Amino acid sequence: MKECYSQVLQSTTLNLTKAFKNFFEKRAKYPRFKSYRGKQSCQYPQNTQVVENGVKIPQVAVIKASIHKLFNGQLKTVTITKTTTGKYYASLLFDTKQKNPEIVLTGKVVGIDLGLKDFCVTHDGSKTSKYTNPKHLKKHERNLARKQAKLALHLKKEVNQEKKQVS
């Protein structure tokens, strides 16, 4: 515990507290123990910096990173995530101090119906697109079912072959 940065422990405790509050207010299930082999993450909420070749994290080091887009603003939190495949990703949270957009009231109201036959119809009956709802899943459902059955049979054969090799 002494080796870990104190802010990391506090953010973890805050997440656990939030999970229990959600459970007791019946918004979520009981918090489960997460396996060490699964996806892991930790948050560094203070003293992190973006440097030219990566991200500087206190008590760790400068971690090399390819930063795709930098924002003007203050870096608030760095979340480091390790996937089950062993890859690491960093998510940077910036405070850009942008103002919320103003609401423009024109007095006009539009009701939109997302339908089955047509993709979108407004309250006055005009259709937003000249094409009908594409229904991609329905179009490819039979082919998908056939390929899933073939895959299930293939996996069953592999398991049986492994059983024969063991005995």
What is the domain partition of the chain in residue ranges?
6-95, 105-134, 139-167
User: CA dihedral in degrees (64, 67, 73, 75; nearest 10)?
Assistant: -40
Q: Rounded distance, CA 16 to CA 18, Å?
A: 5
Q: How confident is the model at residue 148 (pLDDT cuts 50, 70, 90)?
A: very high
> What is the per-residue pLDDT across 57-79, written as a single tens digit (0 to 9) for each?
877 788 888 887 778 888 888 88
Q: Which of 12-21, 79-88, 114-123 has the highest mean pLDDT?
A: 12-21
pTM (two decimals): 0.55
Amino acid type, 102: E
Please say if the pLDDT value at position 17 is more than 90.
Answer: yes
Q: Rounded distance, CA 107 to CA 10, Å?
A: 48
Please say if the pLDDT value at position 34 is more than 90.
Answer: no
Please say if the pLDDT value at position 144 is more than 80.
Answer: yes
What pLDDT was estimated at residue 6? 82
